[in-house]
Amino acid sequence: MLNFYLSVLETDEDKQEFEKMYIECRQQMYNLAYSILHNVQDAEDAVHQTFLTIANNYEKIKRKNCQDSPRYFVIICRNVSINMYNKNKRTAEHFTEIDDNQAAVDVDFLANIAYEKLMSVISTLPDSYKDVLYMHYIYQFSVKEISKMLDITVDNVWKRIERAKKLLKARLEERE
């Protein structure tokens, strides 16, 4: 990842300074992010986002010529981690509000449909709906994994799955 951040910087001097700072601060930032997020992948994402922010704004930071740069970097990491934590919390709260009875009805309805018939109707759905259904139900990817693969939000993945199931149910009822 270091090479990725260095590619954003222009001069060799900046690259050397950034690399030194990266080596000095990386573990401290990871420990801080992990203490907030309690998740290895999220902590790594927070550190990555922090270093990306630093690299993109390195000219401004360098002009300040601040001796407290590591402290500044830790502050950025803390804020990124807190924002990720709050976003994850809001997402989790949003999905705990889903009506369990509605989900049970959808599962019961789909359980009575022959697999071949179901697959043929899924193949007629728009690609955005078809893709999330395949990835979630056929390939067993989590919503978070699908979100990362498709570069869309977790909420967007859930919404696509919900809309796809409604459209699928309507098309299956039309065929009957």
Contact 83, 46 (CB under 8 A): no
> Distance between CA 157 and CA 137 in Å, rounded?
13
pLDDT confidence bin for 95, thresholds 50/70/90: low
pLDDT tens column, 79-90: 889 888 888 887
> Distance between CA 63 and CA 167 in Å, rounded?
56
Output the pLDDT for position 64. Answer: 58
> What pTM value is reported for the model?
0.52
Domains of the chain in sequence order: 2-95 (1.10.1740), 99-175 (1.10.10.10)
Residue 51 has pLDDT above 60, yes or no: yes
Report which secondary-structure segment, H or E, holds 73.
helix 69-96
